[in-house]
């Protein structure tokens, strides 16, 4: 039998491991994961930036979530350094009295956090409302004085988060409005 002191002399001292010691595969995995996450953020911000540029080219007005009166946001220097589209989401778009048509609404699909949309006094028709179905965060929609008919109201049924809808034109029937009210029970529909 070997003595206990003989075993201790043959044992090499263990090196103390540092906390953030990674192997090459782990490091490459972390870099790849970081690149994917950053790519998703940049892609979303670029879609929003293109949508904002399209709205402004049509003469519309855009409000970000950190614009007053909506809420307080990040520090000014951060917004100036990165740009508003990388820091805050667009929450309101006003295209009132502009020449926006049905094709112009396609650019709004990049504004996934949009809450308020005003299309009053525009040429938006039934076909244009199909582009709004992707705006699931939309809470308030103004469609005063637009050529929207009952066929266009079918596209609005997908907006289950809609809480206020303002309509005012002679092309809507009572049956079409009743059908829309049944499809959106939580929406306050102000119409003719």
The predicted pLDDT at position 165 comes to: 93
Cα-to-chain-centroid distance, residue 176? 29
In 84-176, where do the E strands start and end? 90-94, 116-118, 140-144, 164-168
Calpha distance 139→155 (Å, rounded): 15
* Ranges of residues in the chain whose predicted pLDDT is under 70: 1-11, 13, 15-22, 39-43, 67-79, 83, 170, 192
What does the pLDDT look like over 62-73, one tens digit per residue? 998 876 554 555
Q: Using DSSP, how many helices (H) and how many strands (E) does the chain show?
A: 6, 6
The tokens 């892609």 sit on which residue? 43
Domain boundaries, the chain: 25-190
The predicted pLDDT at position 94 comes to: 95
The predicted pLDDT at position 107 comes to: 85
The predicted pLDDT at position 118 comes to: 95
Q: In CATH, what is the architecture of 25-190?
A: Alpha-Beta Horseshoe (3.80)
């Amino acid at each position: 039998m070997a003595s206990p002191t003989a075993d201790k002399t043959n044992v090499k001292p263990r090196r103390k491991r540092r906390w953030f010691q990674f192997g090459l595969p782990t490091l490459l995995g972390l870099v790849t994961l970081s690149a994917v996450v950053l790519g998703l953020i940049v892609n979303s911000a670029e879609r929003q930036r293109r949508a904002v540029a399209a709205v402004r080219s049509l003469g519309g007005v855009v409000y970000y979530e950190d614009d007053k009166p909506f809420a307080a946001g990040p520090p000014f220097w951060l917004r100036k350094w990165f740009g508003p589209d990388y820091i805050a989401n667009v929450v309101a778009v006003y295209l009132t009295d502009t020449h926006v048509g049905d094709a112009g609404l396609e650019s709004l699909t990049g504004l996934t956090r949009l809450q308020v949309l005003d299309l009053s006094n525009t040429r938006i028709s039934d076909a244009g409302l199909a582009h709004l179905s992707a705006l699931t965060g939309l809470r308030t929609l103004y469609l005063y004085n637009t050529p929207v008919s009952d066929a266009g109201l079918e596209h609005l049924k997908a907006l289950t988060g809609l809480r206020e809808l303002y309509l005012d034109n002679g092309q809507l029937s009572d049956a079409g409005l009743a059908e829309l009210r049944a499809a959106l029970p939580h929406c306050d529909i102000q119409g003719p």
